[in-house]
Structure 1
Amino acid sequence: MPTYFYFLLTILKSINLSFGDADRSHELESDNINCPVTTFPRPSFCRKPCSHQEQCRRGNKLCLCDGECGLSCISKSINCHPLVDLPNGYIQTPTGFLFNSIAEYGCDLGYILIGPSQRRCQGNKEWSGSRPICRPLLKCGPPPEIPYSIYKLSPTPSINEDNELDSEAHYSCISGYRDTSQSKNKIKCSLNNKGIAFWEEPKIVCKAQECQDPGIPLNGFRSGDNLQFPHTIEFSCAPGFNLVGSVQRMCTSVGEWSGEQPLCKRKESFNLSLLHISRTSL
């Protein structure tokens, strides 16, 4: 094959590569528009700085954004080492261990993350930042909620702050309810055998006050069978009888019925004929 043919082929390949690199350079420049401005001096682990792809031809590298290092010449085949498991927590790496991959850290219930929640695979094949840890919570959140009860904290924490160890919550039933548990009504913020702060389980049980059965008046009726606070019952009488007392009574917060006990009294009737005779005799 003539020498000039090889020469022509070499020129064509060179042109093709140049166009390919130009296209790739355009893509990289588009991807790197939002790269942060590099601070000086650059961290010692940073790779060679660059401003365009032409500066990274040697070693088959690309001009890529490398976090705080800014635009740097990065190898195409970079992989960071797998991450060690996080005790009492978890690590998520959705995109694996490639350059610029993000590792997300979180802790199990009862633990708090100390350190960064995210780390990035850098151009030096290392993960950014320091390895976080999961530390046991040494404070308690709000005490457990018990139906129909309120609690008072001692000492009283500041607004939006958790409760220190040995803090106490004193429970009491709201008006109209009473504690039927016959046990202690306070709990403490303590540490369990894993060193995690927790509230003891409250034993208080608040039940509605109950009124005695008021019965049903003779020759009368009662509507309603719930005798607990704050329910209401109603009374009525059979035909020929009038109700004397309260038509409606409510079981109050102290366990007593409101109003007066009703009675059904026979209606008084007049003998009109006797009334006529009495008037005639007059």
Structure 2
Amino acid sequence: MAASMLLLMATMAAAGWGRAAGDCNKPPALENGMLEDKYISTSTFDSGITVRYHCVPGYVMASGSSFSITCNGTVWGPFQARCQIKSCGSPGEILNGRYTSTGNTFGSTVTFTCDSGYRMVGRATRNCEVEGWSGQVPTCDAVKCSKLPEIENGKSPHKPSGEDFWGYGMVAEFSCNDSYSLIGPSSITCDSTGQWSGAAPECKDVKCPYPKIPAHGRMIGGFADVYVYGHEITFRCDEGYVMKGKRVIKCSENNDFVPPPPTCQSDIQCPKPKLSEHRNITEGSQSVYRNDDEITFACQDGYVMDGESVIKCGGDGKFVPSPPTCKRGAGASSGKNVCKFGKPDNSRCSLFLSSMLNMHKD
């Protein structure tokens, strides 16, 4: 009899009977969601019990979802829960600016920028968080340039009608009183960074004296009784002469012409001196020599100069004086133009005297 009872109990257990204290196993898992905290550690659930889910931070219940499920006997009822990522919606509009974003869902970032001529006030970014967009929408305020100084002997500009400050893109125009010249730009602009494009100009009384006319040249443009700032004069050289300097000069703010008037040199050329042993050109080496061009010579160590170290191209196409020669030691013709009596003139004189003393010792 006892054996029969044990067999019946085993058969009932195999058939699922006798779960009065725990009819359902753990309920199904929810992606991006979880059971209420009080059920997390429970492994079996009584028939008829209803449990609830909630979404993890950053996710919300999808439309049509049911976040509760009931144990019916040994099985859970229909499971219709779904968690979808949270949307923060629009991050807000910004006047005189724009924004770019990586999206509008949880974890996204939006970055604001202002249009040219406007400066941002506030943080440039907002993040989509559990509670929605972080922070506030920034504002874009118009940039302002500093007040312009008053200029002496002239008229300072006035702000455009209806404006109480100098803003981006506004142009300030300057002018001077009669007989004064405007030194600098006549207008400056307020740029997108709130800086003026340049310094305010000055008004100066500029008068340049009549320029010196170059010998063998003449003025061909810019005739005037009075020369003021910016006035230009143009020169030309006579036939057979070449210009040294600029052909056009301008009256500057310092009351003089810049650059100075040119000179007119004879177009007659002096032939370049032939290279000579032991003699070097230290200054004035060039391919063409004209009137007044100079050459400076020096002798090599152990040699003394006979003649002048500096020669000049004359108007007749010849160097004056003739190029010097370099001779060894006492071989120079009495050291002409090298030493003055009782007082050395330069390093070549010292070399000459040294060579003379050595010859005397020998």
Larger RCO (CA under 8 A, 6+ residues apart): 1
Structure with the higher helix share, 1 or 2: 1
Q: TM-score, normalised by structure 1?
A: 0.40
Q: TM-score, normalised by structure 2?
A: 0.32
Structure with the higher strand share, 1 or 2: 2
